[in-house]
Amino acid sequence: MTPMASENSGYALRLCEDTLGASGRCSLLALNRVLYVRRGALVVTGAREVPVLEDQVWHGAGACEVGAEGGGATVLRYELIRGAAPVGGPGSAAKVLLEHTIDLDPRVEYLMRADRVDFAPGGVALPHRHRGGGIRCLIAGVLDVTVGEAPARRVMPGGAWFESGREPVFAVASKDEPTSFVRVAILPREIRGRTSIMYVDQNDAERGRPRTYTVYVDAPIAIA
């Protein structure tokens, strides 16, 4: 039997937007993180040097140095933190878009998943839950999101929201343009390579879903 998640685990997910000018560089401490390049290109130097282009990601847990290529870069930086952790190093303009506690149990094995969800115009995500919590950030279009009993919220590009996975979520995309968001979630390692979604009405799993998924990272992590 899987142990129950601790309600006082002390973990949080944080999403920052980093803006680096031409040839800008910054140093980041060791944390489980995903860097999604929203604009421009990066070179990330950790155990080795890795180029990261627009709409690509880098994932790692060690300390690293991030450098912008060409005319600079805008980066969505997702990090799993515990306690106080610096927002970012010198060399970038870092803005915290969202930080939210997440219940994790040190006895459970987890993975960090990063993916992109693309809705066709008028796409709908019928009421559903997930196997774990995560942060989403809209990068295109408009999305009306209802999480649990909270009022529906209209999310515009650059807007971020957290889903614990426990509350049902219903989302409706713009009818006039494609809509996309990038998300990073912490999920049980046992579902690696498999979907985390669970529909409130199982019949909805068989209905048309005008959206596509691009998985960038689905990697085991250590949280202890």
The last residue of one of the domains, among 77, 101, 125, is 101
Selected residue with higher pLDDT from 195 and 6: 195
Residues 36 and 81 in one domain: yes
Q: How many domains does the chain have?
A: 2
Phi-psi region at 121: left, alpha or beta (left = phi > 0; alpha = psi -120 to 50)? beta
Q: Which domain holds residue 117?
A: 110-221
Residues 94 and 125 in one domain: no
Residues 214 and 119 in one domain: yes
What pairing do the DSSP bridges indicate for beta strands 110-119 and 211-221? antiparallel
Query: Per residue in 122-160, pLDDT tens?
Result: 999 999 999 999 999 999 999 999 999 999 999 999 999
Q: Which of 74, 82, 76 is nearest to 32 (CA)?
A: 82
Query: Per residue in 53-82, pLDDT tens?
Result: 999 999 999 999 999 998 999 999 999 999
In a domain, 184, yes or no: yes
In a domain, 4, yes or no: no
What pLDDT band is residue 2 in, cutting at 50, 70 and 90?
very low
Residues 114 and 178 in one domain: yes
Selected residue with higher pLDDT from 5 and 172: 172
Exposed/middle/buried for 165, CB within 10 Å: 0-12, 13-18, 19+?
A: buried
Residues 135 and 97 in one domain: no
Residues 78 and 15 in one domain: yes
Q: What gap in Å lies between CA 188 and CA 107, rounded to an integer? A: 11
